[in-house]
Amino acid sequence: KNQVEQSPQSLIILEGKNCTLQCNYTVSPFSNLRWYKQDTGRGPVSLTIMTFSENTKSNGRYTATLDADTKQSSLHITASQLSDSASYICVVTPMKTSYDKVIFGPGTSLSVIP
């Protein structure tokens, strides 16, 4: 069964510190892996997308990595800010399926405190 798991479930860090969120998936083969950020009371917003052939993608202070061999992805946040407090969701799209068959992880809730 295609699944996406994320760890940790929640995380609290001090402002200015770095952190790394993990995503493990069993979807194979897959077309792309995307990280979304969901602020409280808002819908998710796409941060990064990587195809199966890419192994890193950056968006400002956010850097996503992908290891297709171990089926793991990570999202690294550098010099965290209070506005980074949100839920981060890993989403995998299986290969050769209709575009609505994306598989969502449960998310990691990040709290950045002063």
Partner 1 sequence: ETGVTQTPRHLVMGMTNKKSLKCEQHLGHNAMYWYKQSAKKPLELMFVYNFKEQTENNSVPSRFSPECPNSSHLFLHLHTLQPEDSALYLCASSQGGPRPLHFGNGTRLTVT
The residues that touch partner 1, with contacts defined as CB under 8 A, are 4, 9, 31-32, 34, 41-46, 49, 51, 89, 93, 98-100, 102-107
Supply the minimum distance, in Å, between the C-beta of residue 106 and partner 1. Answer: 5
Give the helix, strand, coil percentages of the chain, each rounded to 5. Answer: 5, 55, 40
CA distance 72 to 18: 19
CB atoms within 10 A of CB 41: 5
> In Å, how far are 76, 78, 81, 102 from 67, measured between CA atoms?
14, 20, 27, 19
CB nearer to partner 1: give 15 or 109.
109
CB nearer to partner 1: give 26 or 51.
51
CB nearer to partner 1: give 18 or 28.
28
Supply the minimum distance, in Å, between the C-beta of residue 16 and partner 1. Answer: 28
Tokens of 68: 């297709």
Supply the minimum distance, in Å, between the C-beta of residue 92 and partner 1. Answer: 11
